[in-house]
Structure 1
Amino acid sequence: MEQKLHEAAIEGNVTSLLNLLQEDRLLLDRFITGQHFETPLHIASMLGHLEFVEAILARKPQLAKELDSRKSSPLHLATTKGYLEIVKRLLNVNPDMCLVCDLDGRNPLHIAAIKGHLEVLRELVEARPWAVRLLMDEGH
């Protein structure tokens, strides 16, 4: 079941997601336990599947807080790719994820600046302006 969900996230197939959730209402809850390298929300955020992201956030907004094996949130991944609309949706659910640093010591604002995603950076700064003051890479 989880493999099918993984495939649906890669494809951005909302219909498959909804069908899988009808079969197993707790399917998304299993990703909150921290037993997985990445959640379906991570995958959809990284691949730019806006409708899939919205469908997951509508059912399980807590997944926006989950970190993958590199301590990246879905917001980190959407920011890396410059997916402005996904960034906006994730910020609506949990703007404090702007403050979370990944294994490289970078929060989403750092990533947006490094990648040159200025519209994304504007959204992130608007959501949590003080995140720009966080030091990168343990202060270096």
Structure 2
Amino acid sequence: MERRIYEAVVEGNIISLLNLLQEDALILDRITPELAGVFDSRKSSPLHLATSKGYLDIVKILVSVNPEMCFVCDRDGKNPVHIAAIKGHVSVIKEFVKGRPNAARMLTERGETILHAFVRFDQLEAMEFLVEAINDHEFMNSEDDDGNTLLHICI
């Protein structure tokens, strides 16, 4: 059963997840906290994977069960919010900012903010949302480990 839930999360298959819930209505109560803390070979959690695919409903479930996973970094030093920024999944970013706004302020292993990721990966719609949501001049002018601000990497 655990494997089937993991596969449903990775695939973003809500129908499979609902079918599993019909088989055992309490399965998420028993297994999701455990599943939410499992990592693959890249140190990615199910939350990283669901975020990468933009599976908002699954992200909501995983965050509600284990909100601290928003702060856990993968092998590349990125938390799930960084992954959402790179992929430009605005609805997922909104969920993180609503539920765990400090996760959006975490730095990558290179000292980059989520804003740096928006610029590097040309995710301007997502960046516009976050800038309005956070509205913090100091955060907007953050430098990475090389001293680069957003303006430096735009050039």
- Out of 130, 135, 139, the position equivalent to 2:143 is 135
Greater C-alpha Rg: 2
TM-score (norm 1): 0.80
CA distance 1:2–1:134, shift in 2 (3 Å): farther
What is aligned with 1:56?
A: 62
Check if 1:22 corresponds to 2:27.
yes
CA distance in 1, matches of 2:12, 2:66: 16
- Residue type at the aligned position of 1:63: M
Q: Counterpart of 1:9 in 2: which secondary structure?
A: helix
What is aligned with 1:121?
A: 127
Q: Is the 8 Å Cα contact of residues 95 and 127 (structure 1) preserved in structure 2?
A: no
CA distance in 1, matches of 2:35, 2:56: 22
Please state how far the C-alpha of 1:86 moved relative to its aligned partner.
0.7
What is the 5 A alignment of 1:58-77? 58-77=64-83
Give me the CA root mean square deviation: 2.7
Q: Deviations over 1:87-123 (max 9, x none)?
A: 1011111111222111232221111122221221122
Query: Sequence identity, in percent?
Result: 28
CA distance in 1, matches of 2:2, 2:44: 12
User: Tell me, which stretches of 5 or more residues in structure 2 are unaligned?
Assistant: 149-155
Check if 1:86 corresponds to 2:92.
yes
Check if 1:41 corresponds to 2:47.
yes
Matched residue pairs, number?
139
Please state how far the C-alpha of 1:25 moved relative to its aligned partner.
1.8
TM-score (norm 2): 0.73
- Residue type at the aligned position of 2:17: S
Which structure is higher in RCO with an 8 Å CA cutoff and minimum separation 6? 1
CA distance in 2, matches of 1:27, 1:57: 10
Q: Counterpart of 2:78 in 1: which secondary structure?
A: coil
